[in-house]
Amino acid sequence: MSTIMPYERQVGKRYLDCGVTILRGAWLLMWFCAVLCITVNAEATTYYVSLSGSDSNPGTIQEPFRSVNHAVGVLRAGDTLYIRGGTYIDRFVDTDFTAGGTASAHIVVSGYPGETVVIRNNGSDAITGFMIANREYIDIQDMKLDGSNVNIGDAVVLFNNNITFRRVEIFGAWKNGILGGGSGHQFIDLKVHGNGRQPNTEYPPGHNGLYLATDNSVIRGGEFYDNQCYGLRMVDSATNHRSSNNLIAGVRIYNNGSGKGLGGTSRCGSGGGGAVIGDTNNVLQNSLIYNNTLGVDITGLSGKMVQGAKVYNNTIYGNTGYGIGHGLFAGAADTQIINNILHLNGSTIISYSVSGTVQSSNLMSDPGFTDPGRGDFRLRTGSAAIDAGTALAAVRDDFAGAARPAGPRYDLGAYETNATVASTPTPTSPASTPPTPPKNVKIKG
């Protein structure tokens, strides 16, 4: 458990700790202490930004900085910057950072716990609002990035490696919510919506919630909705790189694409829809893809055939066009489409030029959702999707994080129904008899 400690107190404690050591004598220890002081000081300083602060302040909680782009410039590996609540007309780009983190000591830029932080693009950057191109191991978390007041650029651009976005809301960008390359990124529990305001008459292909050409990255949890083209597009348009080994899991993707995004006004050159999976060994699993223009596109760009795409245990519902389009443009090899539910889409799975496909245990009829009109795709008792799936070693849990399988087999779709776990017994008062353990629950002991 971490506590927020003002900068002076942290520094004071370090000197105190070292002083005790010095009193014990020994030049060697003094030398060691001096090194330790510098090392510790470099590894964990917490700074603050506040609307009531000043950039000439030291950045403590009592005397915080005023601007985010100034504050990020003082951060070293292991440091944390907390941004106090409020709306900042500001931005940060990689030239604002004077250092990056390391694998064992990330830089963290975070909204202050319990306060709402909005960073609204100040328009001072000709390319974009929030760009991190040369620094690594930076965690951006608990804030809203608002691109709505400038008619230029993407909200976030990443060209480097190992950046984490956690619980960040990204909205209103002229182009993409996030445009990302590089490797080892994590996008956890994001809310990405209303991006791609640029009229498609200016740039016909249109823009997306996330447009990633990354490798070895994880997109887990979160919502991607109301964007101009696709909610999430995982494919590189470059001919000399394949976006590879990315995992998309447990995401909710809805209302993206022409006639769906931007409050229904969106016009996407390619139609747009839920998700694109291209290039090599990318995985889409445990996700809800619904009410988009198209559902899932397994398709390459720039003549690159899709290789080894895996579409496991998704619920694909109510999309205007196909639920899954497979191999359009450049073809697809060795795709696995397993344990999905497709219902009320314009069509089900449309395959073009494909080879080596494994397509099994997919349900193409009404499975009995709890309340699809409200986005509740849990299965009702007795659903044909329960225990109808294939065991998949790569799918260990479900959309809600519950372990698979519950019961004898995997369920289809994004949710695993705990159909065989009895409800918790209601305690009687007074407890005249010991409660009976519910059936099918293994008691450790």
CA distance 342 to 365: 7
Parallel/antiparallel/unpaired status of strands 283-285 and 247-249: parallel
Q: Is 94 in the site for Ca ion (CB under 5 A)?
A: no
Parallel/antiparallel/unpaired status of strands 369-371 and 376-379: antiparallel
Binding mask 337-376 for Ca ion (x = CB under 5 A): ----------------------------------------
**Cβ 75 to Ca ion shortest distance, Å:** 47
226 contact partners, CB below 8 Å, separation of at least 6:
193, 194, 255, 256, 260, 261, 262, 263
CA distance 39 to 195: 43
| Residue 226 vs 398, nearer CB to Ca ion | 398
| Residue 19 vs 401, nearer CB to Ca ion | 401
CA distance 445 to 67: 56
Q: What is the C-alpha R_g of the chain?
A: 25
Q: Is 418 in the site for Ca ion (CB under 5 A)?
A: no
CA distance 168 to 373: 26
| Residue 346 vs 407, nearer CB to Ca ion | 407
**Cβ 118 to Ca ion shortest distance, Å:** 42
| Residue 125 vs 411, nearer CB to Ca ion | 411
**Cβ 415 to Ca ion shortest distance, Å:** 10
Residues 46-75 binding Ca ion (CB under 5 A) are none
CA distance 379 to 414: 9
From 1-9, 24-32, 196-204, 382-390, give the range in contact with Ca ion by CB under 5 A: 382-390
Q: Is 398 in the site for Ca ion (CB under 5 A)?
A: no
| Residue 245 vs 390, nearer CB to Ca ion | 390
Find where tokens 């619920």 sit: 315
Total of residues contacting Ca ion (CB under 5 A): 5
- Taking CB under 5 A as the criterion, the residue among 205, 375, 407, 421 binding Ca ion is 407
3-state SS assignment for residue 140:
strand
Q: Cβ of 264: how many Cβ atoms within 10 Å? A: 10
| Residue 136 vs 398, nearer CB to Ca ion | 398
Q: Is 387 in the site for Ca ion (CB under 5 A)?
A: yes
- Taking CB under 5 A as the criterion, the residue among 145, 383, 411, 414 binding Ca ion is 411
**Cβ 341 to Ca ion shortest distance, Å:** 13
From 83-91, 272-280, 374-382, 386-394, give the range in contact with Ca ion by CB under 5 A: 386-394
User: Pick from 350, 371, 369: which is nearest to 412 by CA?
Assistant: 369
Instruction: Count helices and strands (H / E) in the chain.
Output: 3, 33
Q: Is 215 in the site for Ca ion (CB under 5 A)?
A: no
Q: Which residues of this protein are in contact with Ca ion, per CB under 5 A?
A: 387, 405-407, 411
